[in-house]
Structure 1
Amino acid sequence: MAKLNIYLLGRVEILLNDESIIDKLSHKSIGILNYMAVEKNKKFNRNKIADMFWDSNDFDTSRYNLRYNLWQFRKLFKKLNQGIDPFNSDKETICFDEKLDIYVDIENFENDIDDKTTKELENMKKLYKGEFLEGFYIKDSPKFNDWVFYERERLQRNYIKTLYKLKDNYKENNEYQKAISILEDMLAINPLKEELYLEIIKIYIKIGDRKKALKHYNRCVKRLREELNISPAEEIKKAYKEILSSESHIQETLKLNTENSISIASYTPSNIEYYSLSELIDKIMDIEEDILKNIDQNDWIDIYPINSIVEKHIEDKRRLDNNIVKIKVFKALENIFKILSLNDQLNMIIDEIKYIDDTSLEFIKFISYRERVKV
């Protein structure tokens, strides 16, 4: 019996009796086999396949192209397998011959995961060597390419469900390093998903590795700031404070206190420009609305490029611009500080100044020469 192995997860591969034949097939022949392999026991309508791959209004041409590609595969198959026909077909339908031994990698990957053991989940994870039909694209077959896109999304969702289940099993069994490895795999898919960073941070806190917990907090901060220009969620910031308090650090992340002073923390990613100022803006936004409403619109607009959280205070969104003009940022923050210090002197407390990013340090020097600001 002829054996056909079709691998669709990751780089496409087709083996006939353990020998690769992919370089002997046309691109569309490979696409047709892949399409049929997803439902290998199904009987397919020939017109539907022809329309998917050629998308032509010329019915006769589409049918001819399909026949030609099937003939190419039949010719190759018979040459390597003593005249065996891999298809059963008539004028309207086509399917794989039931005597053909076909293995398709996704058939074992699509099983329900709810009752799977850890070992079974690990085997499913191994099957996922990459995205469905990774890098495979047919230029003039938009319907086929759309089908690939939706299948790819569907299978990736199942892969992510598998990872979540596997991660939870590892945590329940106190296999924390394995759980972290799975979380890293998940971050490779979605590097902006904050709850994944939070889980890693909490695991490291649980096992007492505060240094690595802090490393991953800073990693999260850097990614969000560079990609989205936002700060981490409050829950992640709480985890950060837990790390600092457990290590008896006296510094806190840019916090406005009740004595009309601003405390700038030391332990921040110093290679991220404007990091400390961006965190400072977060804390300013926590001040009472009655005070913030006195801040000029132009000042909100000038600091918007380093922290988009201020957008809610900007009435004319058309004026927003992501280009950073340093002197405008400095002057805008100076004006805001003047509003905050109308009723009392405003003090700035700097702890471990050597860790603060260069641009934020430059602002501190700038503002320290102004009235009503005491460093």
Structure 2
Amino acid sequence: MARLKMSLLGVPTIQRDGAPIKVDTRKATAMLAFLAVTAHEQARDSLAGLLWPDYDGLHARAALRRTLSALNKALGGEWLHADRARVGLRRDDLWLDVEAFRTSAEGCGRHSAQDNAPCPDCTGSWTRAASLYRGDFMAGFSLRDSPEFDDWQRFQAEGLSRELGQVLERLVLDAATRGEPEAAIEHARRWLTLDPLHEAAHRQLMRLYAMSGQRSAALRQYRGCVAVLDRELGVSPLAETTDTYQAIKDDEVVIRPPAPPGAAAGTGAGAPPRHPPASYPLVGRTGEWEALAGAYRAAAATGQFVALEGEAGIGKTRLGTDLVAHAAARGGRTITGRCHEGETGLAFGLVVETLRGAMTGATERGWAETLSGETITEVGRLLPELLRLRPNLGEPPPLDRPGAQGRFFDAITRSLIAASHGPAPGIV
């Protein structure tokens, strides 16, 4: 049987046995990409509405039939499966770079994310993931008459970009732990290009420059951070960033790579987390910290909702980071998501990022296997990779049917509860 290779990270290319396939419309490429990435069959009417939204039902279905015929011919009659109601893509001898990237991004899957021990298998896997990411998802491709497809494409691109950021952050910390600051700096620079407003990346790069003896580069990095935050957001850096700059400027601290996993073995302490809290002590927030710790203790009985609010730079992020570390040290499962500027119109973006982050690594992914088929089907609307756990599940009913939205929201809630369940209260 022939082999189908689909590379969608960067300018999309599709090859059959090493030769590019030829299709007569961009809609055929869009359909093939959509079927490959969603990884389950689609209703004909759904595909027709997605790709030809301006057509009436009759003409949209006719356009779908013509495109399916042309695509099936280009694929040599293989891979594409269509009947009167549904269309799907067989996975036999299909290589998709998005799948390969996400598999490699998980690391070796043999240990917890809190295990700080250097792992050559994880390092190799993350390096493969970074190399597979040639560019943004389907870069340069769009369907001007299909805004819903363009929204889906943009959602995929933003999610994959965030996953690359997580991979690069792991590579930075891994290289720093191994005492390889130059490799860490290279990964950190690429990490920062994904989001120039990400202060954590700026701070990490400052520390790496200082660690490698490039003090002037570390100070320039801070000035660049100040400039981009002022230009884009009109804000000053967080106190933690300024403190890092001042410490490097005054030579008041010696900045070292993260401690090796055996450093605390003689004290009986566990290995430090892979993503340790800030390096400086929390000052002037005793009352707030006691309130947070009390809320966490009470969560075991009743559950708690906590909101941190205040002006920029007063320590909200640091308080939250310390609370997450506090819970993780006691066996609580913690999953995090981040809201991004300019994504207010992206429905459920925060939910997707949070649940996808909870599926990193085999150990962390186990919660998803406890979900019912109904829950997986509903949440699969947002997280297609969940559907691979139960490939034979049907498509969920449309959300405009009575009770459908309630079931959808309930499934999201059950998933978040399952993802944060553990021997101690979890934190989302």
TM-score, length basis structure 2: 0.52
Matched, 1:208 2:206: no
RMSD: 2.4
Residue pairs, 1:1-375, within 5 angstroms: 1-22=1-22, 24-40=23-39, 42-56=40-54, 58-78=56-76, 84-97=77-90, 101-111=93-103, 113=106, 115=109, 117-246=122-251
Aligned length: 241
Cα 1:143/1:194, change in 2 over 3 Å: same
Cα 1:142/1:206, change in 2 over 3 Å: same
**What letter is aligned with 1:110?**
R
Cα deviation per residue 1:153-175 (whole Å; 9 max; x = unaligned)?
22222222211222111111111
Cα 1:47/1:19, change in 2 over 3 Å: same
Cα deviation per residue 1:219-246 (whole Å; 9 max; x = unaligned)?
2222223333333333333333333333
Cα deviation per residue 1:237-266 (whole Å; 9 max; x = unaligned)?
33333333339xxxxxxxxxxxxxxxxxxx
Deviation at 1:57, TM superposition (A): 6.0
Cα deviation per residue 1:195-223 (whole Å; 9 max; x = unaligned)?
22211112222333222222212222222
- Distance in 1, matches of 2:20 and 2:88, equals 22
* Equivalence for 2:322: none
Computing the radius of gyration from Cα coordinates, the structure with the larger value is 1
Cα 1:36/1:201, change in 2 over 3 Å: same
**What letter is aligned with 2:13?**
E
Matched residue SS, 2:250: helix
**What letter is aligned with 1:159?**
L
Cα 1:97/1:173, change in 2 over 3 Å: closer
Deviation at 1:39, TM superposition (A): 3.7
In the alignment, structure 1 segments of 5+ residues that lack a partner are 79-83, 248-308, 310-375
Matched residue SS, 1:25: coil
Is residue 206–residue 221 contact of structure 2 (8 Å, CA) maintained in 1? yes
Is residue 182–residue 212 contact of structure 2 (8 Å, CA) maintained in 1? no
Deviation at 1:68, TM superposition (A): 0.3
Is residue 21–residue 75 contact of structure 2 (8 Å, CA) maintained in 1? no
Q: Which has the higher contact order (CA 8 A, sep 6+)?
A: 2
- Percent sequence identity over aligned pairs: 28
Cα 1:240/1:18, change in 2 over 3 Å: same
Matched residue SS, 1:5: strand
Deviation at 1:97, TM superposition (A): 4.6
**What letter is aligned with 1:88?**
H
Matched residue SS, 1:164: helix
- Distance in 2, matches of 1:89 and 1:229, equals 53
- Distance in 2, matches of 1:210 and 1:96, equals 54
* Equivalence for 2:348: none
